[in-house]
Structure 1
Amino acid sequence: MFDFIKSYTSDDSGAVTVDWVVLTAAVCGLAIASFASIQAGSRSVGDNVSDYLTNTDVETVMGLDG
């Protein structure tokens, strides 16, 4: 019985799989967090551009206002 426990605890054949699963989960979590951050910032920039273009005459945007 002790030999079985020794061999079971020293066997590391599944350790690489566990490492990859943990690393992949961490990368996915970082990607989701980054996407959320970028999405909020780009929405703000888009709203600012929309407001500027809505409230500005075409002549002013094109530089034809004199």
Structure 2
Amino acid sequence: MEFFKLTKRFNDEEDGAVTVDWVVLTAAIVGLGVAVITSVRNGVTSLGANISERVEGYITN
């Protein structure tokens, strides 16, 4: 009988639910950020190289 009371009390507790929600939400945001950085990295590197070449061209002329 004591086990059933303990189980019911455990199921009724919701104190840690918000923490779990925040952990999952934060992990999703970090994962999305990593995915965006990974997909944009090559384009940004190429653009930076083009800008660098143009600036060097203006400085030498």
Q: TM-score, normalization: structure 2? A: 0.70
SS, match of residue 16 in structure 1: helix
Computing the radius of gyration over CA atoms, which structure comes out larger, 1 or 2? Answer: 1
**How many residues are matched?**
58
Instruction: Indicate whether 1:21 and 2:23 are aligned.
Output: yes
- Deviation >6 Å, runs of 4+: 51-54
Structure 2 gap ranges (5+) = none
Structure scoring higher RCO (CA < 8 A, sep ≥ 6) equals 1
Distance 1:40 1:30 in 2: 17
Identity of aligned residues (%): 44
Distance 1:47 1:15 in 2: 48
Going by fraction, where is helix more abundant, 1 or 2? Answer: 2
Q: Counterpart of 1:40?
A: 42
More displaced stretch, 1-10 vs 11-20? 1-10
Distance 2:44 2:38 in 1: 10
Distance 2:55 2:15 in 1: 61
Per-residue deviation, residues 15-47 of structure 1 (Å, max 9, x unmatched)? 000000000000001111111222111112234
The letter of the residue matching 1:23 is: L
